[in-house]
């Protein structure tokens, strides 16, 4: 329960307590006056009965008022929870749409701006670092939103890594300055004592100049976001009429889904001879190395790509890989045949096709497809 809810509950409990105290005071005075007044000569027993009955009535009224106040407070809390995203504390989709709908109904001609954005490569973050780390990144992003936008409108997490903002009393030009400020904020998450950055892509559109309804407004903001994705991500754009309208679900697939269905072993590792940590391996590679799972592969290789190469071929293989990169023979690609060392000590000759790329989280890394050389030669009659 939030602190504000607790304070509200304490305040509401104070009211029946006050009623009880005042009631007791009034009843005591009335009983005393009645008992001692010559106009109402009562025996002590009669006064006690009057006082007791009055006390019971006061207790019942006090309890009833307290129960009604607590029930009302609980109702308010439940209503708030029903429109709030539990992870970030922002509005959820239902709460956001309700709030924005009420506002535009009351101010149909006021200039407003709709914003939508998401985390670049969020599926990669979840797949590589786990959902707890992904949740932490979303919470940090929500705090960024509150810092920049909370005084200007409504903020929401739509679900997953998608967020929306509705800026009230704001033109597109004014929104641009706020959005630029928001985009420049640093965004990090921690993983194994390492600070890693992440980026977002954002689109926005103006109401009512570009859209007469809020659903259309956010559809156009989404189109602007899609355009950012097409242009390379980590940026923001205002909606223009020539932007294509597509569903962003077509842009990405989960790394795990893709890698597990590739017709080859797949590996990601750091492109540094002194720090060639294995970052990811699909099940095909795990099986090829005679291991049961990723943890087993990391134990077998001590977490390094170099240790997947047979000992007598390690230096030559690494020299060939980085030699091809330096000379640019295949651009940013490498094509190497080397003996893969299996967990049982046997070796299997493999072809590897690697590509060196820059990654926001790990710097320069290799994406590598690995296939059994003998099987490949047999299939293609090489």
Q: What are phi and psi of 361, to 5 degrees?
A: -100, -35
Render 205-222 in DSSP notation, one character per residue: EEETTT-SSHHHHHHHHH
Q: What are phi and psi of 14, to 5 degrees?
A: -60, -35
What's the mean per-residue pLDDT of the chain?
Answer: 82
pLDDT for residue 20: 59
What tens digit of pLDDT does each residue of 176-191 get?
999 999 999 999 888 8
What tens digit of pLDDT does each residue of 329-373 get?
778 899 999 999 999 999 999 999 999 998 776 789 999 999 999
pLDDT for residue 58: 66
3-state secondary structure of 278: strand
Strand-pair category, 200-207 with 236-238? parallel
pLDDT for residue 156: 95
Q: What is the DSSP letter of 241?
A: T
Cβ(120)–Cβ(233) below 8 Å: yes
Question: CA-to-CA distance for 116 and 239, rounded, in angstroms?
Answer: 11
Residue 232 Ramachandran class (φ > 0 left, ψ -120 to 50 alpha, else beta)? left
pLDDT for residue 66: 66
Question: CA-to-CA distance for 5 and 27, rounded, in angstroms?
Answer: 34
pLDDT for residue 28: 61
Hey, how many other C-beta atoms are within 10 angstroms of the C-beta on 160? 13
Question: CA-to-CA distance for 354 and 305, rounded, in angstroms?
Answer: 13
pLDDT for residue 259: 75
pLDDT for residue 138: 95
pLDDT for residue 2: 42
Segments in the chain below pLDDT 50: 1-7, 9
pLDDT for residue 6: 46
Q: Reading across the β-sheet that carries 265-270, which strands appear in turn?
A: 278-281, 265-270, 363-372, 347-359, 333-341
Strands (DSSP E) found in the chain: 112-119, 153-159, 162-167, 188-191, 194-197, 200-207, 236-238, 265-270, 278-281, 333-341, 347-359, 363-372
Question: CA-to-CA distance for 150 and 110, rounded, in angstroms?
Answer: 19
pLDDT for residue 229: 84
Q: pTM of the entire structure? A: 0.60
């Amino acid at each position: 329960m939030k602190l504000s809810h607790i304070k509200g509950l304490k305040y509401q409990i104070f009211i029946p307590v006050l009623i009880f105290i005042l009631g007791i005071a009034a009843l005591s005075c009335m009983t005393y006056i009645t008992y001692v007044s010559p106009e109402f000569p009562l025996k002590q027993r009669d006064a006690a009965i009057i006082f007791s009955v009055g006390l019971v009535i006061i207790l019942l009224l006090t309890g009833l008022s307290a129960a009604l106040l607590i029930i009302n407070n609980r109702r308010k809390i439940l209503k708030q929870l029903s429109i709030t995203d539990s992870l970030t504390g922002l509005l959820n989709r239902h709460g956001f749409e309700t709030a924005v709908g009420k506002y535009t109904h009351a101010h149909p001609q006021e200039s407003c701006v709709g914003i939508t954005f998401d985390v670049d490569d969020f599926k990669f973050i979840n797949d590589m670092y786990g959902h707890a780390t992904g949740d932490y990144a979303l919470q940090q992003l929500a705090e960024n939103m509150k810092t920049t936008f909370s005084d200007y409108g409504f903020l929401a997490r739509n679900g997953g890594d998608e967020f929306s903002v509705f800026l009230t009393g704001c033109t597109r030009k004014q929104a641009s300055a706020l959005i630029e400020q928001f985009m420049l904020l640093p965004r990090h998450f921690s993983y194994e004592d390492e600070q890693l950055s992440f980026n977002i892509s954002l689109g926005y559109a103006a109401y009512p100049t570009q859209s007469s309804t809020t659903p259309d407004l956010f559809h156009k903001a989404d189109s602007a976001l899609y355009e950012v994705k097409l242009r390379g991500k980590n940026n923001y754009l205002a909606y223009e009429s020539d932007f294509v309208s597509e569903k962003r679900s077509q842009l990405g697939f989960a790394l795990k889904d893709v890698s597990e269905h590739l017709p080859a072993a797949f590996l990601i590792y750091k492109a540094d001879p002194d720090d060639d940590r294995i970052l990811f391996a699909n099940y095909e590679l795990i099986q090829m190395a005679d291991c049961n799972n990723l943890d087993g592969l990391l134990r077998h290789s001590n977490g390094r790509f170099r240790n997947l190469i047979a000992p007598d071929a390690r230096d030559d293989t690494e020299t060939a890989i980085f030699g091809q990169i330096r000379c640019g023979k295949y651009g940013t690609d490498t094509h190497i045949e080397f003996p893969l060392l299996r967990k049982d000590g046997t070796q299997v000759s493999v072809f590897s096709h690697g590509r060196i790329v820059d990654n926001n989280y790990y710097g320069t890394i290799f994406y590598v497809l690995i296939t059994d050389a003998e099987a490949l030669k047999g299939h293609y009659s090489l």
